[in-house]
């Protein structure tokens, strides 16, 4: 479902989701910003469960810095004019993993891959941070083209994890659907309805 929007489902499919969630449990994506749309017994975040399977801090998981920037309120979290954008990111809570932090070497590698290291050396003023995040999101998720290779790599890990789960209901943003369908074409039909 699109983040921040209530999904539009038939009563039959909605009932099936509720029944399955009550019997098998349900998992939300990320920090559960979309939990309000379904009143089901959540077992927690599937992202948290997935994160336990990843060792270290692969640089591709810093893609969260440039993902859903507006919805995640990223700008205020890294705005601090007494620091550079780079240092402000290091000191912030913008992170994919709840149980570990990234270091300056990891952030440097990530920003070099994004070709944004120089921009990160500017003061973390509101204006500079907004420009930095908007440009990063544009590069990570271009509107007319493939997502950046780092986003593709991180999303591939997450999607494979989702497809390996056996029981329950797993909520995810609509952007996952095209990639999940490529990996598992029979997902095109869910509860008798098209999954698009």
Q: Domain coordinates of the chain in residue numbers?
A: 64-142
Q: What pLDDT was estimated at residue 162?
A: 86
Give me the helix-helix angle, 104-113 and 149-164, nearest 10°: 110
For the chain, the straight-line distance linking the first and the last C-alpha, in angstroms and rounded, comes to: 9
Q: Do 146 and 152 form a contact (C-beta atoms < 8 A)?
A: yes
Position 191 scores a pLDDT of 41
Q: What is the pLDDT of residues 138-148, one digit of tens each?
A: 999 998 878 99
Confidence check: pLDDT of 193 > 60 = no
pLDDT digits (tens, 9 = 90+) for 1-29: 666 677 777 888 888 888 988 899 898 88
Looking at 20-34, 80-94, 102-116, 169-183, which range is the least confident one? Answer: 169-183
Better-predicted residue by pLDDT, 88 or 169:
88
> What's the rounded Cα separation, in Å, for the pair 26 and 171?
8
Residues whose CB is less than 8 angstroms from the CB of residue 112 and which lie 6 or more positions away in sequence, other chains included? none
Q: Is the pLDDT of residue 104 over 90?
A: yes
- What pLDDT does residue 2 have? 66
At 54 the pLDDT is: 92
Residue 194 pLDDT > 50, yes or no? no
Q: Is the pTM for the entire model greater than 0.95?
A: no
Task: Write out pLDDT tens, residues 53-63.
Answer: 899 999 999 99
């Amino acid at each position: 479902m699109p983040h921040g929007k209530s999904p539009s489902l038939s009563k039959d499919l909605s009932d099936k989701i509720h029944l399955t969630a009550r019997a098998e449990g349900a998992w939300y994506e990320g920090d559960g910003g979309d939990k309000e749309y379904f009143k089901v017994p959540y077992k927690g975040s599937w992202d948290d469960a997935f994160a336990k399977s990843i060792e270290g801090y692969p640089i591709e998981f810093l893609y969260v810095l440039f993902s859903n920037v507006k919805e995640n309120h990223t700008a205020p979290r890294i705005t601090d004019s007494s620091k550079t954008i780079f240092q402000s990111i290091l000191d912030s809570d913008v992170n994919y993993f709840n149980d570990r932090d990234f270091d300056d070497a990891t952030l440097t590698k990530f920003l070099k891959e994004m070709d944004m290291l120089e921009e990160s050396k500017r003061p973390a003023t509101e204006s500079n941070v907004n420009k930095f995040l908007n440009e990063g999101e544009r590069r990570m998720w271009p509107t007319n083209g493939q997502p950046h290779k780092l986003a593709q790599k991180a999303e591939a890990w997450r999607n494979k994890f989702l497809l390996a789960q056996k029981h329950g209901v797993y909520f995810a943003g609509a952007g996952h659907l095209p990639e999940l369908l490529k990996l598992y074409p029979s997902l095109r039909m869910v509860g008798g309805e098209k999954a698009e």
